[in-house]
Amino acid sequence: MADRLNGYRILIMETREEAQFSRLLAEQGADVVQCPMFTIHDSPDSAPIEAWIRRFIDAPFDDLVLMTGEGLRRLMKVARRINVDGDFIAALGKARKFARGPKPGRALREIGLEPQVTTEKPTSEGIAEMLSRVDLTGHRLGLQLYPDKDHGRLIGAITAQGAEVDTVLPYVYDAQAAETNIITAIDEMANGRIDAIALTSSGQARRLFEVAQAHDCEARLREGLERTPIASVGPVVSEELKAHGLRTDISPANEAYFMKPLISAMAAELGKTAPRSAAHR
């Protein structure tokens, strides 16, 4: 099964699990071109995060909603720094844990825990829909947020069900740091030096267009995407592409919206032709 993508240059924009995605592609022989959408930093003010962790330990929440695996890993980093990681893991074990897709579940398993429920739709709307089927009356619910997203509707939907929501934002984005790399990636696609772009979140497609519009190169981006096969991890990403007038060329079958099925779909589709990027290197 190895080397199915040997010779293919694959552009990825994954940020939170860049290393894992790169490794999985490299195991198939791909030449991975990494272009994270942004740089992730710890929150500049750790005091609210430390206080949230201590509240969780002192009186474990009834429920915990994890929006990202990165969020839990950053929380654990703070807990270790203030020497309460063991107590924090014990408190986490007492809460009913909801995961927005598979990534928070993987982060939980890293510390020996499991999510009780994983949403079928890895979106804020999917979380709200899942929680609407659960009795939250009188519950204290911890909600791990992530940057650059208006979570007001989600918080409102949860409080409307009678829960007290306690939020934490454990990291921030530095989008400017990645813009130069994104412009370079756009040029690489337009020049035919990329065999496929693999998108694993709708935000990646939006970010491409935000940067292209800010640098007056949207036409160049569309030129590149027209000649580069677009691989989408699932329908949420494909809908975002459609909103920009783009098509999805490759996607996993059977509702397996994860990295490994995406890579398998890419190998099956790209393997029908020789790598085109080689002629432009």
9-12: strand order across its sheet: 31-34, 9-12, 196-199, 230-232
Q: What's the rounded mean pLDDT across residues 184-194? A: 95
Q: What's the rounded mean pLDDT across residues 112-133? A: 89
Q: Which of the pair, 62 or 124, is modelled with greater confidence?
A: 62
Considering only the top CATH level, what class is 9-39+175-280?
A: alpha beta
The amino acid sitting at 141 is L
In this predicted structure, the answer to whether residue 113 has a pLDDT above a threshold of 80 is: yes
Do 9-39+175-280 and 46-172 fold alike per CATH? yes
What pLDDT score was predicted for residue 260? Answer: 87
CATH topology of domain 46-172: Rossmann fold (3.40.50)
In this predicted structure, the answer to whether residue 278 has a pLDDT above a threshold of 70 is: no
In this predicted structure, the answer to whether residue 180 has a pLDDT above a threshold of 70 is: yes
Residue 87 pLDDT class (50, 70, 90 cuts): very high
Is the Cβ–Cβ distance between 212 and 218 less than 8 Å? Answer: yes
CA 60/CA 10 separation, integer angstroms:
44
CA 22/CA 12 separation, integer angstroms:
8
What pLDDT score was predicted for residue 242? Answer: 95
Task: Please state the pTM of the whole predicted model.
Answer: 0.67
In this predicted structure, the answer to whether residue 26 has a pLDDT above a threshold of 60 is: yes
Residue 257 pLDDT class (50, 70, 90 cuts): low
The amino acid sitting at 227 is R
In this predicted structure, the answer to whether residue 5 has a pLDDT above a threshold of 80 is: yes
What pLDDT score was predicted for residue 16? Answer: 65
What pLDDT score was predicted for residue 119? Answer: 87
- pLDDT tens digits, 43-55: 999 999 999 999 9
Residue 123 pLDDT class (50, 70, 90 cuts): confident
Q: Domain-by-domain residue ranges, the chain?
A: 9-39+175-280, 46-172
Q: For residue 138, give both structure tokens.
A: 């009188």
CA 164/CA 43 separation, integer angstroms:
24
Q: What's the rounded mean pLDDT across residues 190-217? A: 93
